[in-house]
Amino acid sequence: MTTKRGLFVVLEGMDRAGKSSQCRRLVDHLNSIGHRTELMRFPERDSAIGSLIGQYLGRKIELDDHAVHLLFSANRWEFRPHILDTLASGVNIVCDRYAYSGIAFTAAKADGPDFHWCCQPEVGLPAPDLKIFLSVSPEAQASRGGFGAERYEVADFQRRVGEAYARLMRLEDQAGGSCPAWLTINADGAFDEVQQQLAKAVVAAIDCPRSAGPPAGLR
Ligand code: Z5A
Ligand code: MG
């Protein structure tokens, strides 16, 4: 009997939407009900490339906007074989941020790289089966504590990131068919309520039929 390949789920969303904490809880829940699932995150700071990204985010080094964009993308490419092997072994992946963060954060930079240029390094990476956007209102964001010390944790920049995410989702909607649609979940509510909605959507997707081979590449 062939193993059904794992589901590749990506969570995206604005700062403090709860992506990291929801991903951790979701992975625990899925494993507890018998769906073998691995947590991944980008940036993955535990690699040579990821360590450079960590130094950049922590303002320890300066890098050209194009160069750091390519590093974020290279960080995903270096984990491509791991993503494909994990899915092929029948294990699901829940991924905290992916290529969409890469595009939205660089495209939000004033006088930074062009939006279409930002998309190019991501072309060919494994495409997620399910993309979930955790939306959060400015009021809920504010209630979850102040920004930290990292480079992008600045209110005006975060507003432009939101606009870039919206542009990205509009473009994918217009492209139609080949791109799986985004599922948006309002993350303003209580943590457990958001978790229930997430778990319901992901379990339903795990149970759906999907292609036996590896996921298609991002276009
Ligand atoms: N970046 C990039 O530029 N290019 C790329 O290609 C990629 C990323 C992949 C670091 O990412 C930066 O890298 C990030 C994007 C950029 N810059 N910014 N901003 P990161 O993923 O390491 O960032 P982070 O430090 O994890 O922050 P975050 O992802 O924005 O936060 P979050 O994961 O969405 O939230 P959380 O840590 O789960 O929760 C935040 C707090 O809210 C915490 O105290 C929770 O307990 C609380 N919380 C969560 N949910 C709720 C609810 N429902 N109610 C009340 N309180 C809640
Ligand atoms: Mg996070």
pLDDT score for 3: 81
Cα–Cα distance, 175 to 29 (Å, whole number): 34
From 70, 97, 135, 191, give the residue whose CB has the most ligand 1 atoms within 8 Å, as the site to mutate.
97
* pLDDT higher than 60, residue 79: yes
Question: Which residue range(s) make up the domain with 32?
Answer: 8-41+78-207
pLDDT score for 130: 96
User: What's the whole-number average pLDDT of the chain?
Assistant: 94
Structure tokens at 137: 């209102």
Kindly state if the Cβ of 11 falls inside 6 Å of ligand 1. no
Kindly state if the Cβ of 70 falls inside 6 Å of ligand 1. no
Choose between 129 and 3: higher pLDDT.
Answer: 129
Kindly state if the Cβ of 144 falls inside 6 Å of ligand 1. yes
Which residue, among 33, 127, 44, 38, has the nearest Cα to 90 in the 3D structure?
Answer: 38
pLDDT score for 71: 98
* pLDDT higher than 60, residue 177: no
Number of structural domains found in the chain: 1
Q: What number is the average pLDDT over the span 177-189?
A: 82
* 58 belongs to a structural domain: no
* 214 belongs to a structural domain: no
From 19, 94, 153, 161, give the residue whose CB has the most ligand 1 atoms within 8 Å, as the site to mutate.
19
* 148 belongs to a structural domain: yes
Kindly state if the Cβ of 188 falls inside 6 Å of ligand 1. no
pLDDT, tens only, 66-76: 999 999 999 99
* pLDDT higher than 70, residue 52: yes
Structure tokens at 25: 């809880």
1 — pLDDT class (breaks 50, 70, 90): low
pLDDT score for 176: 66
Nearest CA to ligand 1 atom 49: 18
Nearest CA to ligand 1 atom 6: 102
150 — pLDDT class (breaks 50, 70, 90): confident
Please list all protein residues whose beta carbon sits less than 5 angstroms from ligand 2, which is an ion. 19-20
Predicted complex ipTM exceeds 0.95:
yes
* 61 belongs to a structural domain: no
Q: Report yes or no: 112 and 200 within 8 Å, Cβ to Cβ.
A: no
* DSSP3 helix / strand / coil % (the chain, rounded to 5): 50, 15, 35
| Ligand 1 atom with the shortest distance to the CA of 193 | 53
Residue 192: give its domain's CATH number: 3.40.50.300
From 16, 63, 152, give the residue whose CB has the most ligand 1 atoms within 8 Å, as the site to mutate.
16
pLDDT, tens only, 118-140: 999 999 999 999 999 999 998 89
Structure tokens at 19: 């992506």
* 56 belongs to a structural domain: no
Cα–Cα distance, 123 to 113 (Å, whole number): 16
19 — pLDDT class (breaks 50, 70, 90): very high
Cα–Cα distance, 85 to 64 (Å, whole number): 33
Q: What number is the average pLDDT over the span 179-192?
A: 89
* 184 belongs to a structural domain: yes
Angle formed by the axes of helices 191-207 and 19-32, nearest 10° = 50
Kindly state if the Cβ of 49 falls inside 6 Å of ligand 1. no
Q: What number is the average pLDDT over the span 188-209?
A: 97
Q: What number is the average pLDDT over the span 20-32?
A: 98
Q: What number is the average pLDDT over the span 140-164?
A: 87
pLDDT score for 155: 84
179 — pLDDT class (breaks 50, 70, 90): low
* 145 belongs to a structural domain: yes
* 144 belongs to a structural domain: yes
- Return the percentage of the chain with pLDDT > 90, whole number: 82
* pLDDT higher than 80, residue 178: no
